[in-house]
């Protein structure tokens, strides 16, 4: 409520312009990682914008200690488990909070933000350089300057060899070392290579399911097409084993590692499995104790507080130079950005407030409890345009109390609950049921879907058809 004071001031002073709306839309569409990059770019080229080394709560404006969220806004008033606390949290420990570990190595204790100040080639070169001989460094430099926007190698091996008068073997060796840097898999020649680098790294510290490496290396095409039963035959193993590996791959590996910190906006039409590393929103129990109130933390990237540079403003007033027009523009742009970021935070907060209150039991108890919900419904309740909600949801990810990172769009999945229920039914079946039987079971739970739809859901969940399940589950019965 005090928030409205804070925001209202700005809004009444200068009414919405079309530029304002346009920028709010763009910012809303961005994930917190992308927002961070945008702010960095803007800081670099706009002298009117200033980053002061002082953290302030984005909601109430209070000064904050160097670490952590606003102690007032994030403080629950009661310990009532029905209470939820929502706050916008300025964070700079971008790499550590998601806990995924795939893209960040502990070895380099550099300031995590060194990566955002450097460009990708320099950042990677600094990591490998100590391990390389002088001639190898030149090769590494050539490799790193020939990366495409996704961090993939965009030059033929032959060309590198010719240029440096060296053997493919030597280039391979350098390439291999580079690929083991952060972001893991950078400079790969294809997705498979990037994934393999990550598998190798993960298998040092944790268990990786059987066949994972071989699947990526030898049968990536079939894997992408999800031909699990075929693969099972080739590897002479059960379909479950293959599915486990596939699941591991899509949950833990990132086909475009360089996008996590560097890449430009992602293409939504990828058919490659999506992987999420840096959530935009965290949901957890207070003190991580189930039963405690839920905490909703909306991440906004910051290393300090953005504001208009007061010196710059003063200089503008005093000096009547010919640059005045330019400077005026800079100031307008800077204040616009600041305002739009506030608006973005505000919208996200309102959205999450509704979303959590509707889907609370999904968050706590799992997939089966997801309420059917459309973006349009939320838009109506919040009295904003549908497209606003669409943008706010698009590309965002949420970390649930069980540490799973899911796309925010999952809150609007119409069939998730049904599919989860279907899973349950099939897991507890006494004999392999065909799709028609499953349909009947679902109907008993008050859900009526067509037989054909059951088949589709089964396929989505990677569950085998009845006659194959008979063999897998009820062997020779």
Site residues (vs DNA, CB under 7 A)? 374-376, 386, 390, 412-415, 434-436, 448-453, 455-456, 458-459, 465-467
d(CA 211, CA 240): 12
Work out how close the CB of 246 gets to DNA at its nearest, in angstroms, rounded to a whole number. 16
> Which residue number, 12 or 448, has a Cβ lying nearer to DNA?
448
CB of 397 to DNA, least distance (A): 16
Q: Please name the residues in contact with 384: beta carbons below 8 A apart, sequence gap of 6 or more.
A: 347
Q: Which is nearer to DNA, 195 or 422 (CB)?
A: 422
Which residue in 126, 77, 84 sits closest to 105, CA to CA? Answer: 126
In terms of CB distance, is 186 or 466 closer to DNA? Answer: 466
Conformational region of residue 27, where left means phi above 0, alpha means psi within -120 to 50, and beta covers everything else: alpha
Instruction: Kindly tell me which of 29 and 248 has the beta carbon lying closer to DNA.
Output: 29
Least separation in angstroms between CB 340 and DNA: 21
| Distance between CA atoms of residues 11 and 15, nearest Å | 6
- For residue 3, give every residue at least 6 positions away whose Cβ sits within 8 Å of its Cβ, in sequence order, or none: 59, 60, 346
Q: How far is the CB of 263 from DNA (least distance, A)?
A: 20
Q: How far is the CB of 193 from DNA (least distance, A)?
A: 28
Q: Token pair of 185, please?
A: 């898999």
Q: Which is nearer to DNA, 303 or 391 (CB)?
A: 391
How is 84-152 classified by DSSP, letter by letter? EEEEEEEE--TTTTT---SS--SS--S-TTHHHHS-HHHHHHHHHGGGS-HHHHHHHHHHHHTB-TTS-
As measured in angstroms, the least distance from the Cβ of 225 to DNA is: 9
Closest CA to 181 of 101, 119, 103: 103
Identity of the residue, 178 or 438, whose beta carbon is nearer to DNA in the bound complex: 438
- Counting every residue written for the chain, the total comes to 477
Least distance from DNA to the Cβ atom of residue 136, Å:
44
Q: How far apart are CA 97 and CA 399, in angstroms?
A: 10
Question: Distance between CA 317 and CA 327 in Å, rounded?
Answer: 10
CA distance 392 to 177: 39
Q: In 3D, which of 421, 416, 462 has the Cα closest to residue 438?
A: 421
With H, G, I as helix, E, B as strand and everything else as coil, classify residue 291. coil
Choose between 170 and 226: whose C-beta lies nearer to DNA.
226
Shortest spacing between CB 224 and DNA, in angstroms: 14
CB nearer DNA, residue 205 or residue 269: 269
């Amino acid at each position: 409520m005090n928030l409205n004071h804070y925001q209202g001031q700005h809004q009444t002073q200068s009414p919405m312009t079309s530029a304002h709306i346009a920028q709010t839309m763009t910012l809303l569409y961005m994930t917190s990682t992308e927002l961070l990059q945008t702010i960095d770019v803007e800081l670099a080229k706009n002298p009117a914008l200033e980053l002061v080394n002082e953290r302030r709560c984005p909601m109430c404006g209070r000064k904050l200690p160097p670490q952590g969220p606003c102690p007032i806004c994030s403080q629950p008033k009661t310990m009532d488990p029905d209470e939820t606390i929502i706050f916008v949290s300025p964070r700079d420990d971008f790499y550590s909070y998601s806990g995924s570990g795939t893209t960040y190595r502990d070895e380099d204790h550099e300031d995590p933000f060194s990566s955002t100040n450097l460009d990708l080639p320099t950042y990677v070169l600094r990591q490998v350089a100590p391990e390389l001989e002088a001639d190898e460094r030149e090769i590494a430099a050539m490799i790193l300057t020939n990366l495409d926007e996704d961090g993939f190698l965009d030059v033929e091996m032959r060309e590198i060899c010719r240029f440096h008068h060296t053997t493919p073997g030597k280039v391979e060796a350098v390439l291999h070392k580079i690929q083991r840097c952060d972001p893991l898999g950078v400079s790969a020649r294809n997705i498979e290579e990037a994934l393999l680098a990550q598998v190798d790294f993960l298998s040092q510290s944790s268990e990786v399911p059987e066949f994972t490496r071989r699947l990526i290396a030898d049968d990536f095409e079939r894997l992408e097409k999800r031909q699990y039963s075929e693969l099972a035959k080739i590897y002479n193993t059960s379909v479950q084993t293959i599915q486990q590996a596939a699941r591991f791959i899509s949950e833990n590996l990132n086909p475009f590692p360089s996008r996590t910190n560097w890449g430009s906006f992602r293409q939504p039409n990828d058919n490659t499995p999506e992987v999420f590393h840096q959530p935009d929103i965290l949901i957890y129990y207070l003190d991580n104790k189930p039963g405690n109130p839920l905490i909703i933390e909306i991440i906004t990237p910051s290393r300090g507080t953005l504001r208009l540079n007061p010196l710059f403003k003063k200089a503008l007033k005093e000096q009547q130079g010919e640059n005045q027009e330019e400077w005026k523009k800079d100031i307008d742009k800077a204040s616009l950005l600041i305002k739009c970021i506030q608006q973005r935070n505000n919208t996200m907060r309102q959205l999450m407030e509704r979303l959590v209150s509707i889907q609370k039991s999904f968050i706590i108890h799992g997939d089966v409890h997801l309420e059917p919900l459309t973006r349009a419904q939320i838009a109506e309740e919040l009295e904003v345009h549908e497209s606003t909600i669409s943008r706010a949801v698009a590309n965002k990810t949420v970390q649930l109390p069980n540490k799973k990172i899911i796309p925010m769009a999952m809150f609007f999945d119409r069939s998730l609950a049904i599919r989860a229920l279907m899973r349950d039914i099939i897991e507890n079946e006494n004999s392999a049921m065909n799709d028609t039987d499953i349909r009947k079971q679902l109907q008993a739970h008050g859900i009526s879907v067509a037989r054909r739809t059951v088949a589709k859901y089964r396929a989505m969940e990677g569950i085998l058809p009845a006659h194959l399940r008979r063999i897998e589950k009820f062997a020779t019965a």
